[in-house]
Chain A
């Protein structure tokens, strides 16, 4: 068994696919793993994948040409997944996809296809939930700032929605787990950037004076519920607890760290 270790990015995984495929060792003798996932396996040869935009571009071209845009988008979303085996799952899926073509997305009876379908669905659903549940606060300077803590790396999937909806606003979506943000300038483009230092956050929160609307929203949220129909279990299944720390209406008082109250 030869194991190719690749970086945890879309390009990294595609480079891994390229190296594993062109190694001519046979699909059953190779395996893809993300770098730094901890355990090493016995009786296996490890090869480090070298990242090269050309390799990734070749794989992208092959996917688009042979399997179509839909498959390409699904592979991209699956590459944002939080699962450790995602690289190998994408590889196993591409074996079928490049052979069968665009029809492959319907063949859920093939285990490799189902695994990709499942990852894609998880990522897409979470992106949708984040779009729905993210809350922005507005700073004095007119910047909207929202924090999320998604399991999968979905901020890049959220950005086009808000870039279209709030094109005349300056906004930042900050992924607290990965310390990465999407930054949008009014009437301009959005970019994704790593922000290892989060002192900027404190500055943004200190300058925001939006208690008025946060209080109004809490009032509304409380009053819109019908007392006779109270049903916390139903509420919980639609809006699981893990989303709530960052949502204005479930925060007891204004937390300065954006999400959770300081200890």
Chain B
């Protein structure tokens, strides 16, 4: 492992941002905190996105690794020990300076600090802790901090870092223990779940007021006392590196929400950065559509009152690539529809495709004072082209609709297919067709082209 000693800050930033970008969690939400006099920073509950990168993902936090040196050799990871890539490490001062100066210019909402494992988990976690301490106490930074808990690190180090951070995360990476064993032989599922459980207990204890966590800082008013991980914890699952199906993924996510009180589970479409025989070849690029469907289902679990068993089952273990999970569910339960806008309760409204949390709340508030018709629903943000199959207003549907699964599916598909296509096959062109072939022929790949040229059809 060779480090160039005289690397300047720009080179380091380039290397360590490159190394950090495959971690997807970049939200700054979950905690509302006012500014403090003489300090820099505040936090907004809903989070703020300060920019968007060329891949369309938001940039909310300065997402960097402390170092990309690592003692582990996880197959999927660009920073694994056996890769020959340039290595670098920040110093705590450099991280503080970058964070403060970027924050002041409103480039970022805070810091997301992760790291490869340098020497040992304890050593690494201590470096992260020292950096955070400096940032909070010497620089007076009061903005958002997301820090990784390094599995295997001493519990006291994790607890102390948690008192300085807003959110902590431990990446589960692969949903099953077998997958983890195969691709990350030096990691162990139980060692990942241990800090997760510890953080959960710390948050719960604080919520119930059992632990006097607040004596970290002296001479500070009570309302400014630091809390333990106030924005909750999150984790990440890699999609498509191992053969787990969607049902397994979503069940794991549901269990994490239920048993570990996680705020978020993030899904990261697998990008093949290493050539390794154990990794799947992905000729079509990262499985973006699958990742998208998992996020849709994740929202259904957290905000719409669905359970994983309703969305998928052993017999139907993967999401429909043509229909979003909610439409798919509604079409399998046509006996529950149509529902009446004026009388259906909030949770029933939420289950109608085309109605989201906001529009359902608006409907519930507006209908108290008078009748609604379809034009009103449109104003409230209901996507009528999907919703009208499943709704009545004042006892009438918008158009006469045959409540037949195949019929409605065919109608919905036209629109959905186009959107699914855009996600799965972006930047490819579509041959206009006189016949409805579903527009599902993928663009020719490089191999197809060479085969066509060489006549190997």
Q: Write the residues of chain A forming the contact surface with B, with a CB cutoff of 8 angstroms.
A: 103, 106-109, 114, 128, 131-138, 144, 146, 161, 164-169, 187, 210, 213, 215-217, 219-235, 237-239, 247-249
Contacts and interface: CB of A to CB of B under 8 A. Distances in A.
Contact of A225 (B21, B35, B105, B107): B21
Chain A interface secondary structure, helix, strand, loop or mixed?
Answer: helix
B54 A165 contact: no
Contacts of A108: 362, 366, 376, 379-380
Contacts of B422: 233
Contacts of A226: 21-22, 55, 57, 271
A168 B38 contact: yes
B52 A239 contact: yes
Contact of A221 (B51, B285, B372, B376): B51
B105 A228 contact: no
A229 B426 CA distance: 10
Contacts of A231: 54-56, 426
A230 B14 CA distance: 18
Contacts of A224: 17, 20-21, 53, 59, 63
Interface string B30-64: 00001101111110000011111111111100110
B86 to A, nearest CB: 13
Nearest to B367: A109
Contacts of B448: none
Interface string B212-239: 0000000000000000000000000000
Interface stretch (B96-104, B127-135, B152-160, B326-334): B96-104
A210 B41 CA distance: 20
B370 interface: yes
Interface size range on B against A: 35 or more
Contact of B18 (A135, A187, A223, A233): A223
A109 B426 contact: no
Given A144-B104, A166-B40, A168-B38, A114 B53 contact: no
B174 interface: no
B102 A217 contact: yes
Nearest to B288: A229
B106 interface: yes
Interface string B226-256: 0000000000000000000000000000000
A260 B10 CA distance: 25
Nearest to B268: A226
B413 interface: no
Interface in B175-196: none
A216 B362 contact: no
Contacts of B143: 165
Contacts of B55: 225-227, 229-231, 234-235
Contact of A166 (B35, B269, B288, B370): B35
Given A165-B40, A167-B37, A216-B9, A137 B376 contact: no
B366 A106 contact: yes
Given A106-B368, A235-B54, 20 more contacts: A108-B376, A109-B366, A133-B51, A164-B35, A164-B42, A165-B42, A166-B40, A168-B38, A168-B39, A168-B40, A210-B105, A216-B13, A217-B107, A219-B10, A224-B20, A224-B59, A228-B285, A230-B54, A232-B54, A235-B52
Given A106-B368, A132-B48, A164 B105 contact: no
Given A136-B105, A169-B40, A231-B426, A238 B56 contact: yes
Nearest to A104: B369
A187 B371 CA distance: 52
Contacts of B13: 216, 219-220, 223
A133 B52 CA distance: 10
Contact of A146 (B14, B63, B106, B286): B106
Nearest to B24: A226
B10 A168 contact: no
B453 interface: no
B164 to A, nearest CB: 19
B457 interface: no
Contact of A248 (B21, B39, B107): B107
B59 A221 contact: yes
Given A164-B42, A223-B14, A238-B49, A169 B34 contact: no
A210 to B, nearest CB: 8
A136 B104 contact: yes
Contacts of A217: 102, 105, 107
Contacts of A221: 51, 53, 59
Given A106-B368, A165-B35, A187-B37, A136 B21 contact: no
B365 interface: yes
A219 B285 CA distance: 25
Interface string B106-138: 110000000000000000000000000000000
